Amino acid sequence: MEYLGILFASLISSMLINNVLLSTFLGICSFLGVSKKMSNVWGMSAAVIVVMVISTAITYPLYFYVLVPLGIGYINTIAFILVIAAVVQLIEMLLKRYMEGLYRGLGVYLPLITTNCAVLGIALSVLDKNYAMDFMDALVVTLGSALGYALVIVSFSAIRIKLDSKDVPKAFKGMPIALITASLMSLAFLGLGGLI
């Protein structure tokens, strides 16, 4: 029971307090790039959640049961990026074969995820024992981070769509005002720091 409590705390903290986008700055490129259209955002979030969890499920045992015993832990970055690229490729093929509709929905976003730093960043972060204590915890932290990514990118996109129709100073149109919105969101999330 206590173990479940710790896992729940990990989930909340990785989702809200140490949000990947707003406090550790992972995955900002996709955050600023795809958030202009709501339909894109749902596709991207779904793709990130799936790829992140599957990647960590593979990279964590790979590191601790293959790379470290062989004494080649230092090649983790190279190994992980290959695993992520392979996972993305595999999901793409499976979706194409079995779920045509979803494949068309996610289509463009899947390949982009290979270079989404949130995926590699979380896969590398959870190797740290302070960050996640065991395999189960690592998976929960990854899921929490992916959910946090989805939460922030969806709400950010909703604000950005409203901003398009507002009278913003000329120099601030587009990216600058989006960054300032992100800044205010980050401040708001700072307030969640006392949650745990």
Partner 1 sequence: MEQTVKLKKKDIFLTGIFKENAIFIMQLGMCPALAVSNSFESALGMAVMVVLVLMLTNVLISALRKVIPNEVRIPAYIVIIATSVTMLKMFVDAYAPALATSLGIFIPLITVNCIVLGRAEAFAGKNKVTDSLIDGAGSALGFGLAIIVIALFREVLGKGSLTMGSLLPFPFEFTFQLFPSKFGLSMLVQPAGAFLVMGVMLAAIVAYQNYKSYQQKIKGARK
- Binding residues for partner 1 (CB under 8 A): 22-29, 32, 74-78, 81-82, 85, 114-117, 120-121, 124-125, 169-173, 175-180, 182-184, 186-187, 190
Nearer CB in complex with partner 1: 12/32: 32
Nearer CB in complex with partner 1: 99/188: 188
SS3 of the chain: the string is CHHHHHHHHHHHHHHHHCCCCCCCCCCHHHHHHCCCCHHHHHHHHHHHHHHHHHHHHHHHHHHHHHHHHHCCHHHHHHHHHHHHHHHHHHHHHHHHHHCHHHHHHHCCHHHHHCCCHHHHHHHHHCCCCCCCCCHHHHHHHHHHHHHHHHHHHHHHHHHHHHHHCCCCCHHHCCHHHHHHHHHHHHHHHHHHHHHC
Nearer CB in complex with partner 1: 101/169: 169
CB of 54 to partner 1, least distance (A): 17
Distances from the Cα of 127 to the Cα of 17, 82, 130, angstroms: 19, 17, 9
CB of 32 to partner 1, least distance (A): 6
Q: How many residues does the chain have?
A: 196
CB of 11 to partner 1, least distance (A): 20
CB of 17 to partner 1, least distance (A): 12
Contact between 148 and 155 under an 8 Å Cβ cutoff? The reply is: no
CB of 179 to partner 1, least distance (A): 3
Nearer CB in complex with partner 1: 86/99: 86
What does the alpha-carbon distance between residue 163 and residue 96 come to, in Å, rounded to a whole number?
Answer: 36
Nearer CB in complex with partner 1: 18/40: 18
Nearer CB in complex with partner 1: 24/105: 24
CB of 53 to partner 1, least distance (A): 18
